[in-house]
Structures are given as structure tokens and as C-alpha cells.
Chains A and B, each alone.
Chain A
Amino acid sequence: MSAGTGISVEVRGLSKAYRIAHDPHRPTTLAEAIVRRLRDPLRRAQRETFWALRDVSFQIRQGEAVGIIGRNGAGKSTLLKILSRITVPTTGRVELYGPVGSLLEVGTGFHPELTGRENIYLNGSILGMRRREIERQFDAIVDFAEVEKFLDTPVKRYSSGMYVRLAFAVAAHLNPEILVIDEVLAVGDASFQKKCLGKMGQVASEQGRTVLFVSHNMTAVQSLCGRALWLDRGMLAADGRPADVVPRYLKTAFAPVRERIWEDRASAPGTEKVRLRRASVRPETGSPGDAIDVHAPLIVEFEYWNLSSGAKLNLSLVIMNEEGAVVFNTAPTEDPEWYGRPFPRGLFRSGCRIPGDLLNDGTHRVQLYVVEDQSVVLSRHDDLLIFDVIEPPGEREAWYGKWVGAVRPRLEWATELVEPAAADAPSGPRFLVGVL
């Protein structure tokens, strides 16, 4: 291995193209392909080239922890897939100085029928560990995952938390020089996430290994990484200290989308049961174009076609802030008319009022779930609406910092003087002592 300050990953002019068939009649069976070829030997499929990565170059030094940020579809996962040798670039090259361990999805290679113990060996060897290595690390893995009692239980009986813990534990005990991790911390409970982040930080700072990880959790990127790479539509938009890169990313990443309308029902998002027609967010006393300040009550509204008669539908709304933290989740459980009742076919409008003085200032993202029978998710729509809540101008007097926290409720405060301090009393023995 090279010295402590050596180059660990070198990426030069990296591009990756995917060809997306544009042809609705693309052959999917061998027979079809053969018949096509015979009928029309010179025909070329209409294909569109989609560049997932375009001319990306960077160098990473050994022991660096690098966060890769960017919107969905910006090329982050493609980059990780190339770095972990799952797929090959179209042009450009990558040099990796040292073995790579990657964790692109929690529990890849886990088999539900096998026990925890068997899965540790299976997963470990799929990730490239030798059997002896796994044996040596076995206790540490079990300890980290906190699953000793369930080692001989098939993992299909594990809770999802246990499953994630075990999967991460195996990967964290790989001993690669370069550790590549996709958004895996979105799962698991908060305390385990903290443990994982701690482990990743330790891997980089104490063991001098290189860590690359993709995350939507900006807090994690800022606290864990010394450097952030921002990918935007396949290109490297910025490369630098997270304190500089993250705010720039956040500013552009979530351009407001306050209203969306789908005129064509057939191509509107949804399923054959429910399709969306319109989504909007606006101040209660205004239109979707008006600014939303922290005091303004909001109306979030959705119009949707119910295409199957008798479905018991409800929407479920999740509001997230710019760091990806959930501010709250709400569903029309208090809706007296329709909640739990069968919906006839037709166009519906559901909405709710978010009171003023609840959301903090900043960018908010709306995620919508369409749910049937109060439990079956028919469809999920990420970032359906994006809106900024602004600080009303000229209101701040003494305090210029941002209020911390996911919400910013205006609460009734009261202060009263319960008992004047003795020092302020007009007379008394202590006063006298003080003078003396």
C-alpha cells in the first residue's frame, strides 16, 4: 500500500452512457428479435443515449472521507457502481489503489431462509472476504449487530432493524482500503444510524482508509466528511469542503414546484387504480404563486382520479425539510366524510390546512402516498411539491441566526418575577453585611 498521503482513487474523464430504447416495440424475446432481423435486416433500434456520468474527474487521497451528494438521478449510484467494479465506464478510467469493499444495498446476498450465522458467511464471502477472515471477525460482527440471541434463527424472522444491523455489521468489518457506501443509513433506527456513522468515521480517521459515501443526509455529510462531491446531471458541479458545497447544493437542488397538473390521465403518475391530476401548495389567502412566510397558514391540495369503484382510499402526506428530515406525516384520519368509506369512481380533491407558525423557514418537500384500506401503499410520489417558507422581511430585530429545529411553532410564553432577589430588597441584614 502507498504511504499515508498517497492517492487512493483516481478518476479521469469518466463517462457512462446508458442506451434507453425509445422504441415501444422493442423485441424482448429471442424469437421476436430474430423475426425482426429477418424482416428488416438494416433496421436500427431507435435508441436514445442517456449520459448518467459526463466527464467526471477527481482524486481522493488515502484516509479521506468523501460525501457524494446530488439529486436523485444525478449519477451518484452510477459512480459508486463503477468504483465498486459492478459496471464499466463508457469512456475514461479509474484507478483504485487497494481493494474496494462496497455496500450499495443493505443485505445484498442475504437469503431469508438462512440463519443469521449462515448469512454472515454468505454475505461476507460475496463481499469478498475469505472464510478465515470472517471467522476472525465473527464475534465483532455479531457484537456490533447486537443479534447474538438470534444467530441461529432464519433472517426471515428478523425485525427489519435487526436485518439492517446485521447487514451493515458485515460490511463494516470488511477490511478494504477503500470503502464505498450508498445511501444505506436511511434505514434503521436513529441510535443505530449514529453507531454506523461513528463506525464510518472511525474507519476513515483511525484506520486511515478511504470512505466514499452517498447520502441525502446533509448533517451526516457535514459532520463525517472532510470533502463533498456534488454531482448534477452527471457532471461534477462542485468539489470542496462540505461547509461550502452543501449550502450551494441545497440552494439549487430544490427549485420550488408549487403546483403540478397532469392533463393526460393515462400518463399521469399513479397506478391503474388511482392517478393524480393536480397537486398544489399555496398560502390560505393566495394563489400558488404567492410567497409563503412562516406565519401563513398553507393549503396543500391534491386532485386524483379514482379508477376502481369501492376502493377505500386515503392520502398520506409527509413533509420533509431540506436536510431530508421528516417534519411530520399526516393522513385524513379526521376526515368525517370519506375516511374509511368506499370511494366511487371519479375525480376527487383532498387537501389539508397546515397552520401558520408551524413550519420553520427553509425549503420543504412534499411526499405523497396513496393508500388503500389504510395500509396498502398504491403509489408513492417523492418531491411532488417543493416550497420555500420564508422569513417575513423586516421582522427580525435582535436575532439574525436561523432558528434551529424542524418546526418553529409560535408558543405562548409568559414570564413573571416570582421573587425579587434579596440583593434588590430595600433593606435587611444581608444588605448590611454586604456593606460591611
Chain B
Amino acid sequence: MIRPESGWAALDVRELWRFRDLLLTLAAREVKLRYRQTALGVAWVVLQPLLTSGIFTVVFGIIAALPTDGLPPFLFSYAGLLGWVAFSNTLSKGGTSLVGNAHLVSKVYFPRLALPLSTVFSTLIDVGVALIVMVPLMVHYRIAPGMGVMLAPVWLALFLMLGAGFGLLTSALTVRYRDVQYIVPVLVMMLQYISPFGYSTERIKPSLLQWYMLNPLAGLTEALRWSLLGRGTVHWPYVWYAAAVSVLVLVAGAIFFKRMERQFADII
């Protein structure tokens, strides 16, 4: 049954489930295509976080000599950046997923949510590979995680949710205003600097800290690092705050997306 455009469309989970193979196929396409015609190929999945950690180590750890909770700066950055990969890949790829597949949106029916959500699956591969690379790193630095490691999937899931929520929001907005695709990379870069990836929060002034921790990535990054490396500064109340924000952003993103969804084919 097809009815006229009404404001709210129910989040049709059953329909999404019927198209679950599409989610995986789209994710597989993204992964397959990403490294076609690159010389190093899949090695980039590993090289990207390693290079970023290297840069953060040099800039924050060596040049600025900011504290890293007594952990080796490289490992410190790497552990936090795992969460960053989960968040930013989902957001950036999700945000452009509708416009990048405009020919599909205007020519075929499928639950539109499949496009931004499929990026969660392709990001999981990046995160998984980066996690595997982390094992020899930890052996090298002789650092063992504690029981907290059991919670790591929870933090990673929250990073993904936060990224997917913003991804849904920006993808729907981009359909109408293409500006969004230019703003997002700038904001994403800014977020990377104001989150504690290359430095610990231990020396941030308490008066400033409450503002600093408003960024949900801050709490999640601390929690993830604590889980993976077994120590580090964690401000637990802000972690719970960040978890709540992540869930809220995902829900709000999904609602906004569904609200806009019915117009996509007409205006894309």
C-alpha cells in the first residue's frame, strides 16, 4: 500500500531486515572498490591508523610533550584512534552515501537507511584489522589489558552509533543542501584535535574540563583506552554522559532521516 506523503514514516525494521543482504553487499562493494587501483591495496587499512598515530606521537608526544598517562605515546594514540576510525569512517562515508548513490535512490526502491547503515559494516572491517595490528604492538610495549577489555566492544559500538547518527543526519541534509558535504570534513578534523587522542586529559584545568568533556568523543576515547591498555585517566560520569549522547544522536539521526526519506527521490 502506497499512501501520500505524510510527515512521519514508521521505522520499518522488518523491511530493513528483508534487505539485510543488501546492507552486506553494499558494504562489500565499498571495501572492494576502496583499494582498487592502489599499489598497496588492503595494506592501507593498517597503514592509515599507524601513520596517524605516528603523526600524533611526533606532534603531541614529542614536540608538544603532552602527557600520555605514562603510556608509550604511540600506543596511547593508537588505542584512542581505534575509536576515531569507528566514528569518523561511519560518519564521513555515511554522510555522502545518499548523494554518492543518487542514481540508485532515484531509480530503485530499497530502504534508504541501507545506504548510510551499510557503512557501519565496512567500518567494522577497518576497526577489526586495526585491532589485530594492536596485538603485536602491545606485546612489543609489554602492556597487557585488564578485565576492562571485555567492555571494549561496548565503547566501539558507541563510537559507531555516534558516527552512524551523525551520518544519517548529514546524509539526509546533503540531499537538499550540498554544502553539508564541505562542512563535515572541516568539523571532523576539528573534532579530532579537540578529542584526547594524542594527549591525556590529566593536565586540563578542572574549570575547562567540564567544557572539554562535552564532546562525547572525549569520554568514549578515555573509556576505550582504559579498556584496551588497562590504565589511563577516565572521567566516568562523562563516559556515561557520552554513552547517552551517542544513543540519542543515533535515534535523532534515524528519526530525521525517516522524516526526510520520502522526498529523497524527488529532490536528489
Bound complex: CA A121 to CA B3 (Å)? 31
The residue in chain B whose Cβ has the minimal distance to the Cβ of A85 is B109
Residues of B contacting A100 in the complex (Cβ-Cβ under 8 angstroms): 109
CB distance from A57 to the nearest CB of B (A): 14
Q: Assess the A105–B107 pair: CB atoms within 8 A.
A: yes
- Contacts A91-B4, A93-B3, A113-B36 given; does A86 touch B108 at CB 8 Å: yes
Q: Assess the B22–A126 pair: CB atoms within 8 A.
A: yes
Residues of A contacting B25 in the complex (Cβ-Cβ under 8 angstroms): 121-122, 125-126, 131
A341 contacts partner chain B, Cβ-Cβ < 8 Å: no
Q: Assess the A131–B109 pair: CB atoms within 8 A.
A: no
Q: Assess the A89–B108 pair: CB atoms within 8 A.
A: no
Q: Assess the B107–A86 pair: CB atoms within 8 A.
A: yes
| Interface residue count on the B side (C-beta < 8 Å) | 30
- Interface range, A side: 35 or more
Q: Assess the B4–A93 pair: CB atoms within 8 A.
A: yes
CB distance from B19 to the nearest CB of A (A): 7
- Contacts A122-B25, A130-B21 given; does A89 touch B2 at CB 8 Å: yes
Residues of A contacting B36 in the complex (Cβ-Cβ under 8 angstroms): 113
A268 contacts partner chain B, Cβ-Cβ < 8 Å: no
Bound complex: CA A84 to CA B2 (Å)? 10
Task: Scan A26-40; emit 1 where CB is below 8 A from any B CB, else 0.
Answer: 001111010000000
CB distance from A76 to the nearest CB of B (A): 15
Q: Which residue of A88, A95, A113, A128 contacts B4 across the interface (Cβ within 8 Å)?
A: A88
Q: Assess the B1–A31 pair: CB atoms within 8 A.
A: no
Q: Which of B1-44 contact A (CB under 8 A)?
A: 1-5, 18-19, 21-22, 25-26, 29, 32-33, 36
Looking at A28, A102, A111, A125, which has the most chain B CB atoms within 10 Å of its CB?
Answer: A125
Q: Assess the A87–B266 pair: CB atoms within 8 A.
A: yes
Bound complex: CA A367 to CA B198 (Å)? 65
Q: Assess the A96–B1 pair: CB atoms within 8 A.
A: yes
Residues of A contacting B178 in the complex (Cβ-Cβ under 8 angstroms): 28-29
CB distance from B164 to the nearest CB of A (A): 20
A371 contacts partner chain B, Cβ-Cβ < 8 Å: no
Q: Assess the B179–A31 pair: CB atoms within 8 A.
A: yes
A147 contacts partner chain B, Cβ-Cβ < 8 Å: no
Q: Which of B26-81 contact A (CB under 8 A)?
A: 26, 29, 32-33, 36
Q: Assess the B265–A86 pair: CB atoms within 8 A.
A: yes
The residue in chain A whose Cβ has the minimal distance to the Cβ of B19 is A128
The residue in chain B whose Cβ has the minimal distance to the Cβ of A118 is B32
Task: Scan A71-101; emit 1 where CB is below 8 A from any B CB, else 0.
Answer: 0000000000111111111111111100010
The residue in chain B whose Cβ has the minimal distance to the Cβ of A130 is B21
Bound complex: CA A83 to CA B265 (Å)? 13
Residues of A contacting B19 in the complex (Cβ-Cβ under 8 angstroms): 125, 128
Bound complex: CA A113 to CA B104 (Å)? 16
Q: Assess the B33–A113 pair: CB atoms within 8 A.
A: yes
Bound complex: CA A91 to CA B5 (Å)? 8
Bound complex: CA A94 to CA B99 (Å)? 28
Q: Which of A108-166 contact B (CB under 8 A)?
A: 108-109, 111, 113-114, 118, 121-122, 125-131
- Contacts A125-B22, A126-B110, A130-B21 given; does A88 touch B2 at CB 8 Å: yes
Q: Assess the A104–B29 pair: CB atoms within 8 A.
A: no
Known contacts A91-B4, A111-B29, A122-B29; 7 additional CB pairs below 8 A are A29-B177, A33-B177, A89-B2, A93-B3, A94-B1, A126-B108, A131-B21
**Interface pairs (28), CB distance under 8 Å:** A18-B266, A30-B179, A81-B265, A86-B106, A86-B108, A87-B262, A88-B2, A88-B5, A89-B4, A89-B5, A92-B4, A93-B3, A93-B4, A94-B1, A102-B109, A105-B103, A109-B103, A109-B104, A111-B33, A118-B29, A121-B25, A125-B25, A126-B104, A126-B110, A127-B108, A128-B18, A128-B109, A130-B21
